A and B are shown apart, each in its own frame.
Chain A
Amino acid sequence: MKTRVKSHAQMPFRVGMLFVLPALLLFSIFILYPLATALSYSFFSWKGTLQGPFVGFDNYVTIFTRAPFDEALPNAFSHNLLLFAGAMIFQNSVGLGIAVALHKIGRLKRLFQTMFAMPYLVSPLVVGYLWSLLLSPLFGPVNATLKAVGLGDFAHPWLGDPNTAIWAIVFITAWQWIGFPMLLYGAALGGIPEEVTEAAEIDGASGSKRFRLITLPLLLPALGTVSILTFIGAMEAFPIPFAVGGSTGSPAGATDVMALLFYRTAFESGDVGSIGNSSALAMVLFLFIFVGAVALRIALARGERKLYG
């Protein structure tokens, strides 16, 4: 606390502001300003790019009640939630598992970490197209391999069947992002003092007990970060669903997500008032993500306080 006061005294408020200014300027121009315009656009009627009169919440009423939104919105939204749930399960089982395993082996840790994090460096659009090629019923190696090893019964039009298509997207997304929770959990595991684990060991705690009572609680901050970022990522998902199912969320809307619905409304609708509707949609999505992320943050902070007193 003392050092913070000291540095505060060395850095006058105005100088501090000067350093913040460039970032603030960029943030205002590229984030805040578009956000404010989208908000204002959503309250007007539109004729192409010509702004019409103020219509209050009409555009919002439209996106919640009128076809195609009345069906498409809940459908797309449920898929976003599914993506979030799927990603959480995958990251906190496989991702955490890999992180723990790598933490234990030590020697080839860096090599494996790099390997698992590799897909994370590739553009999600590329990853999406790559997997749609792998899963193609015509030329895809996945089905070809299944047939070759005598599991032909399991060969499946993965992306053509509405029951598997959305899970394929969950899997592809998880596959790409697995390196991220793995690195975060890895760093958090490295930050747990060995003395604590040793002390528990001396007290006679078994391996699983040590993990449950020592490691897991100390991982909570990392878990919180991963959860919030995953939540935002799942709600905003666009490139992978777009690459896999196209802008309509093929087949028959089975892979539709909120961002695709927004894209269709904004750029493919043919409705002269599409700017109003799509802005309203964007605002609803933003508000949900914002409120959701803040709520998650508060819940996690409470959890941490409870644990650490």
Chain B
Amino acid sequence: MRKRLSALGLLGVSALVLAGCAPATPEPTATTQPGTTATAEPVEPVTLSLWSWRTEDVDAYNTIFDVYEAQNPGVTVEFEAFLNTEYNQFLATGLEGSDGPDLAMVRAYGGVQPLIEAGQLLPIDGIVDVSNVEQSLLAAATGRNDGSLYGVPFATQTLQVFYNKGIFDELGVTEPTTWDEFVALNEAIAAGGYTPMALGAKDAWMLPIFHEIVGAARYGGPEFRDALLAGTKDFTDPDYVASIDVVNQMTEYMVDDVIGVAYADSQIQFTSGLAAQFPGGSFELGNFKTQAPDMELGVYLVPPPPGSPSAKPLSAGWGDGSFAINAKTQNQEAAIKLLNWLATPEFGQLFVDEVKQFSVIKGLSYSDPVMKEMNELFLSGPTAYINLVDMRFGDPTGSTLIGEGIQSMFLGDMGASGVADKLQTGISTWFVPGA
């Protein structure tokens, strides 16, 4: 019995040690920050902790926050990164107890709702200036039930067609500006002996992305989304069905048996020069540059198919995560000030230069020409990747439904309207328009 008790005691001790590792409430230190002069207003030193899942970006963020600390004497920003796959648990536990961070990166859209519904984040309407943020992306940090804003989005992904400039030059073809040119372009590539489009249709998650790239303009982009959310239209709308049919028409520009092609295979198809185009997300850029460093990349948006409600080509995008404030922070004022800075073009530019991802802030300059063009394309016709942005708040998710549906369509088991019906029926189990 005694042994057992001492074993329990040991467990208790290790629990205490673990608790000691958790970030405690920051205590003001008496040391003056270098750079402050005697004439400056005396500032209360404050340490703000910021949690993140971006372990790979720790150095970049430290560089960024050095700039902020230099401008705000007395403020120290402690950037702490946790393992991506376990971050949600860490954060949920931290926000629930008293050892949570002052600020934290939170997931986007459906991923942040549990934290908002549990009252763990500070609403920031009116206290943080988000006028420099691309407004369509604020939905990433908006409460689904109360409509309040709970964070400042930081990264964004956009969808477009990547192409191999070398192949285009060899065949003497150029970026299309009309649907007819787009069709002619694909015919010319096929006639030239290349696969016009690489697509990994075996991986269902890639298919809704492809649908947005070729079909966003056909269903009408933002206008359709507004109507969908308001309940005046649903996915069985003829324009939406037609947009799924556009996906089906594209199969003639892919390899036979595209349904058996894995996502990774489709990347190789493109980087090895077998396929001339890769319809995909901005997240592909890093991989393309590593796998085919000599390939000259171009990007364009698919022109609106005939009958499209949208007159211009659209680029679907989404916010990839946001910065938010812990509702329980002891340093609310300093946290709000920092969050305001995280919504400025100054931070946006640092983010672009140091973290090398797309920022949500408008009017930044990208030194990489492809990134620059992708950003311009997105800003020229921004729309939302509806099945991610709005249809991931329940089970089944919109992207799973349409992904599986398009696979059935490729297999010939289902038509475009069948896919739309499946999507509408599936999301209807939890989605209530106008709510």
Q: Is B408 an interface residue (CB 8 A)?
A: yes
* Minimum Cβ distance to chain B for residue A132 (Å): 6
Contacts of A246 in B (CB 8 A): 202-205
Q: A272 contacts which of B114, B259, B260, B411 (Cβ < 8 Å)?
A: B114
Contacts of B269 in A (CB 8 A): 138
Most chain B beta-carbon contacts within 10 A, residue among A135, A157, A246, A251: A251
Please report the C-alpha to C-alpha distance between residue A50 and residue B89 in the assembled complex, in whole angstroms: 11
* Minimum Cβ distance to chain A for residue B117 (Å): 5
- For the complex with contacts A136-B262, A160-B258, A270-B397, 14 further pairs of A-B residues with Cβ separation under 8 Å are A50-B92, A68-B395, A136-B260, A157-B261, A160-B202, A160-B260, A245-B202, A246-B205, A251-B407, A252-B407, A252-B408, A269-B394, A271-B394, A274-B395
Considering only residues 88-139 of chain B, those with a C-beta below 8 Å from chain A are 88-89, 92-93, 96, 110-111, 113-115, 117-118
Please report the C-alpha to C-alpha distance between residue A274 and residue B395 in the assembled complex, in whole angstroms: 8
A136 touches B114 (CB 8 A): no
B408, closest chain A residue (CB): A252
Considering only residues 84-138 of chain A, those with a C-beta below 8 Å from chain B are 132, 135-138
| 9 tightest Cβ-Cβ pairs between the two chains A and B | A48-B114, A160-B260, A157-B260, A157-B257, A160-B259, A269-B395, A270-B392, A271-B395, A49-B92
B114 touches A248 (CB 8 A): no
Contacts of A245 in B (CB 8 A): 202
Please report the C-alpha to C-alpha distance between residue A156 and residue B257 in the assembled complex, in whole angstroms: 8
B403 touches A248 (CB 8 A): yes
A161 touches B259 (CB 8 A): yes
Q: B395 contacts which of A49, A252, A270 (Cβ < 8 Å)?
A: A270
Please report the C-alpha to C-alpha distance between residue A274 and residue B111 in the assembled complex, in whole angstroms: 12
Q: B202 contacts which of A47, A49, A159, A265 (Cβ < 8 Å)?
A: A159
The segment out of B17-25, B49-57, B233-241, B423-431 that lies at the interface is B423-431
Most chain A beta-carbon contacts within 10 A, residue among B258, B260, B392: B260
Classify chain B: how many residues form its interface, as a range: 35 or more
* Minimum Cβ distance to chain A for residue B194 (Å): 13
Please report the C-alpha to C-alpha distance between residue A92 and residue B115 in the assembled complex, in whole angstroms: 52
B400 touches A160 (CB 8 A): no
Classify chain A: how many residues form its interface, as a range: 35 or more
Interface, chain B (partner A; CB < 8 A): 88-89, 92-93, 96, 110-111, 113-115, 117-118, 201-205, 255-262, 265, 268-269, 274, 392-397, 400-401, 403-405, 407-408, 410-411, 413, 425-426, 429-430
Q: Is A162 an interface residue (CB 8 A)?
A: yes
> Binding site of A, secondary structure by majority: helix, strand, loop or mixed?
loop
A272 touches B93 (CB 8 A): no
A46, closest chain B residue (CB): B114
Contacts of A50 in B (CB 8 A): 92, 96, 114, 117-118
Known: A139-B265, A158-B260. A250 touches B395 (CB 8 A): no
Contacts of A157 in B (CB 8 A): 257, 259-261
Q: Is A305 an interface residue (CB 8 A)?
A: no
Known: A68-B396, A160-B202. A48 touches B255 (CB 8 A): no
B201 touches A160 (CB 8 A): yes
